[in-house]
Amino acid sequence: MSPATHLEVTQPRLLHRSGGLRCEGASWRRRSVFVKTRESHAPHTVRRFWQEGEIASRLCHPLVVPLLARTPTQLVYPWIEGRTLRDLLQEGPLSPDEATSVAWGVLEALAYLHDEGITHHDLKPENVMLEGGRAEAGAVRLIDFGMSHLQDLPDGAEHLAMGTPHFMAPEQFGGVRGDPRSDLYSVGALLFDCVAGEPPHKDALAWLLGRPQPAPQLPGPAALHTFFGRTLQRDPARRTAEIRELQACLNRARALLNLPQLSLPDVLGQPGDALTSLWD
Ligand SMILES: Nc1ncnc2c1ncn2[C@@H]1O[C@H](COP(=O)(O)OP(=O)(O)OP(=O)(O)O)[C@@H](O)[C@H]1O
Ligand SMILES: [Mg+2]
């Protein structure tokens, strides 16, 4: 990782600004990059930005975007040529084939994160990039570790309800940090959004606050409903905690729908293929 205090990027183009951060596409060392720059000195922003860099700097997995370089005010990631899952969903819901494939890839990325002691805590279609805009497991590139929690690292956000209401597990809303089962709830909400075109609860805050809500009408073919039942439980103890079991559940649904089974070698293609654009 570069020891520089400021990295000179060229050809910056502003993507967006929010929460004291500026996001740009740019060029760095003759490669296309995505740069997040911290503009605020507010203690919470400084802390979260440092935490994002600390967590992102440990990542090395083909379905997770790695960090290339960091300074106290800059995080530099490889530019992903593609679209976010949210961009894709603007055009309408995905087919069960596409939706289960993307969810399978997200689970694969999560299995890696959770093994590393990381809980993402902000899984949503905006934070899933798809290389080449393809709705496929092997195209998944997980981004945005701005809310993530790393075991053994002082968190600084204990008891804070950080996340995005429509995709946030109820215990996360209650301030629980670092429970990997919260991410599994979010995958359930993400698959729901992919199939239905909207997340499970219209009034997400009311659901999170425990106010009586009509049970959501489960979307898509019945073969997918077991997965929703295993992830979208209010009580984390009632969710399936094993990611491999959730992937198997998606594959059972795919079998019922006459869709091919997903496996890691198939998803990643020939060794190195999925890595080329990230690691060259
Ligand atoms: N590596 C990348 N390559 C290309 N585009 C990216 C990359 N990383 C992020 N983006 C785009 O920039 C957006 C914002 O990135 P990110 O989610 O990391 O920042 P953020 O400040 O946390 O934003 P938000 O508050 O909207 O979540 C993403 O939704 C995506 O559209
Ligand atoms: Mg984001």
- The predicted pLDDT at position 97 comes to 98
pLDDT score of 1: 54
Residues 87, 97, 122, 266: which is the catalytic one?
122
Closest ligand to Cα 16:
1
Pairs from 264-269 (Cβ < 8 Å, separation ≥ 24): 264/108, 267/104, 267/105, 267/108, 267/136, 267/137, 267/138, 268/62, 268/138, 269/138
Per-residue confidence (pLDDT) for residue 133, from 0 to 100: 97
Task: Report whether residue 21 contacts ligand 1, using a CB cutoff of 6 Å.
Answer: yes
Would you say the CB of residue 179 lies under 6 angstroms from ligand 1?
A: no
Check residue 261 and report its DSSP letter: P
3-state secondary structure of 235: coil
Ligand 1 atom, smallest distance to 86 CA: 29
- Residues 239 and 230 sit within 8 Å (Cβ to Cβ): yes
- Could you give the CA distance from residue 24 to residue 13 in angstroms, rounded to a whole number? 5
| Atom from ligand 1 closest to the CA of residue 122 | 27
Residues linked to residue 25 through DSSP beta bridges, in sequence order:
13, 34
227 Cβ below 6 A of ligand 1: no
CA 39/CA 190 separation, integer angstroms: 31
SS (H, E, C) 24-89: EEEEECCEEEEEEEECCCCHHHHHHHHHHHHHHCCCCECCECCCCEEECCEEEEECCCEEEHHHHH
Q: What is the pTM of this model?
A: 0.94
Q: Which two tokens stand for residue 194?
A: 């992919």
Low-confidence stretches of the chain (pLDDT < 70) are 1-4, 270-280
- Dmax (CA) of the chain: 55
Q: How many C-beta atoms lie closer than 10 Å to residue 122's C-beta?
A: 21
Both tokens of residue 235? 């009580």
Amino acid 153: pLDDT = 87
Residue with tokens 């720059």: 37
Q: Report the length, in residues, of the chain.
A: 280
Q: Is 115 a catalytic residue?
A: no
- pLDDT tens figures, 209-257: 999 888 899 999 999 999 999 999 999 999 999 999 999 999 999 999 9
CA distance 217 to 201: 10
- Structural domains present in the chain: 3-79 (3.30.200.20), 82-256 (1.10.510.10)
Q: Can you give the pLDDT at residue 273?
A: 46
Annotate 226-265 with b (16+ C-beta within 10 A) or e (fewer): bbbebbbbeebeebbeebeebbebbbebbeebebeebeee
The pLDDT assigned to 276 comes to 45
